[in-house]
């Protein structure tokens, strides 16, 4: 498949409701759906999950997945948020390895897009073509063991020394950590400033003092590696800072808007694949002389799976559409992420139950869909934190 160029695919509807893809968006969806189906499924036997090989990663670059909303001048596709969600949904529907698609999304929304929005020209010109092509893989390093949902209570320090910053600290649960070529690291220049002291830096693999550490053995998304990251007097050029000192909070919040919208499009695609598979099984599986789908207890459960999927999809599209109109869409993004993440878990439980023993057969993949859905209620803001934000947006 040729490298997709979708820079001219834009959401142009303003002040109106529109429920269909444009011709170009529909073409993009079909091509990425079929292209993602051809991607190999990683083995899940290794206790900590295998590292993603470079050939597979570059294949994702050839499909255009690694630079979807990045300007074409840097090697990206120039897509808007809604078109990006369209593409990610197609990939999630086509590729049965959610770990791979999650790795792509973590690279794109938590590392690449902050570089697009906040890095200086030298960093953008040098790094973005490598990140979009698949030659490089990106990672986001913000989480610390003592700073989970209290995301800006960071202990990692960044001390200015001339034209450099010296970073010292430790990060946890860094997706793509063992394989990443560049890390977006958040640190504080002054802990007493709290949120206003947080600053973001781009740190390249091989920088002295940057040490990927223990690999995290996850329950779900096992094919994408995640690790700790240790920084020991790690010297970073000042030109690698994103934005000004103290603007790390803004960098992070912008990346969260991309994550909460477009990343979860992958789960929408996976939920559609799961629903199709469950409907097919309910038609083919016969018990007591008839297909199990003829039983109301089964059919109503499948109807609920469809209801969750369609409601989540509409919330997703609305959040992305509002982003494309220049709105912050905080409420919409949180509602979308909450509906998709919790819906994916419940539909995963339903699919396992409806498949019976086959649902817990590790070789059939039904149970893996549930396990891959479980982390979704935790990363990019836990369900509890999202409900707090939603309540605040409602004036409560």
Query: Which structure tokens are listed for 236?
Result: 């970073």
Count other Cβ atoms within 10 Å, centred on residue 276: 11
* Cα distance between residue 88 and residue 103, in whole Å: 12
Pick the catalytic residue: 259, 272, 342, 393?
Answer: 259
* Cα distance between residue 340 and residue 343, in whole Å: 5
Cβ atoms of 209 and 136 within 8 Å: the answer is no
Count other Cβ atoms within 10 Å, centred on residue 366: 23
* Cα distance between residue 208 and residue 228, in whole Å: 16
Count other Cβ atoms within 10 Å, centred on residue 151: 19
* Cα distance between residue 392 and residue 394, in whole Å: 5
Task: Output Rg (C-alpha) for the chain, integer angstroms.
Answer: 21
Count other Cβ atoms within 10 Å, centred on residue 35: 21
Helix (H, G, I), strand (E, B) or coil at 199: strand
* Cα distance between residue 50 and residue 179, in whole Å: 10
**Integer CA distances (angstroms), 382 to 12, 66, 151, 153, 314, in order:** 33, 26, 11, 16, 21
* Cα distance between residue 93 and residue 135, in whole Å: 25
272: nearest Cα among 321, 223, 310, 300: 310
- Find the helix or strand (DSSP H, E) in which 33 lies: helix 23-37
Phi first, then psi: what are they for 213, rounded to 5°?
-120, -140
Examine the residue annotation and report whether 328 is marked as an active-site residue of this protein.
no
| 162: CB partners within 8 A, 6+ apart | none
State CA 39 to chain mean position distance.
18
Residues classed as catalytic: 259
């Amino acid at each position: 498949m040729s490298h997709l160029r979708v820079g001219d695919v834009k959401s142009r509807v303003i002040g109106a409701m529109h429920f269909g893809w444009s011709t170009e968006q529909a073409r993009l969806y079909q091509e990425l759906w079929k292209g993602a189906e051809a991607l190999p499924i990683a083995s899940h036997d290794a206790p900590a999950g295998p590292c993603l090989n470079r050939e597979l990663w570059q294949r994702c670059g050839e499909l255009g997945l690694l630079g979807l909303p990045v300007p074409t001048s840097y090697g990206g596709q120039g897509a808007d948020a809604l078109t990006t969600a369209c593409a990610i949904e197609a990939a999630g529907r086509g590729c049965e390895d959610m770990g791979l698609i999650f790795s792509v999304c973590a690279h794109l929304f938590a590392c690449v897009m902050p570089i697009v929005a906040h890095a200086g020209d030298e960093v953008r010109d040098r790094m973005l073509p490598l990140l979009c092509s698949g030659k490089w893989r990106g990672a986001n390093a913000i989480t610390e063991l003592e700073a989970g949902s209290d995301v800006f209570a960071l202990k990692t320090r960044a001390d200015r020394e001339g034209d450099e910053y010296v970073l010292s600290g430790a990060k946890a649960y860094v997706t793509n950590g063992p394989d990443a070529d560049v890390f977006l690291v958040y640190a504080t220049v002054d802990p007493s400033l709290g949120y206003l002291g947080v600053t973001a830096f781009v740190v390249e693999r091989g920088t002295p003092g940057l040490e990927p550490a223990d690999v995290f053995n996850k329950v779900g998304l096992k094919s994408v590696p995640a690790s700790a990251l240790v920084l020991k007097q790690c010297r970073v050029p000042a030109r690698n800072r994103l934005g000004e000192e103290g603007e790390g909070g803004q960098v992070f919040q912008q990346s969260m808007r991309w994550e909460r919208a477009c990343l979860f499009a992958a789960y929408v695609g996976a939920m559609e694949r799961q629903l199709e598979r469950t409907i097919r099984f309910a038609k083919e599986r016969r018990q007591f002389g008839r297909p199990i789908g003829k039983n109301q207890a089964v059919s109503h459960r499948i109807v609920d799976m469809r209801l969750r999927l369609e409601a989540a999809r509409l919330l997703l599209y609305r959040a992305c559409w509002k982003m494309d109109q220049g709105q912050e869409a905080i409420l919409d993004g949180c509602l979308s992420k909450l509906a998709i993440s919790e819906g994916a878990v419940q539909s995963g439980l339903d699919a396992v139950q409806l498949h019976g023993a086959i649902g817990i057969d590790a070789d059939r993949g039904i149970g893996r869909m549930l396990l891959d859905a479980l982390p979704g209620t935790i990363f990019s803001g836990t369900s509890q934190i999202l409900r707090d934000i939603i309540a605040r947006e409602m004036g409560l």
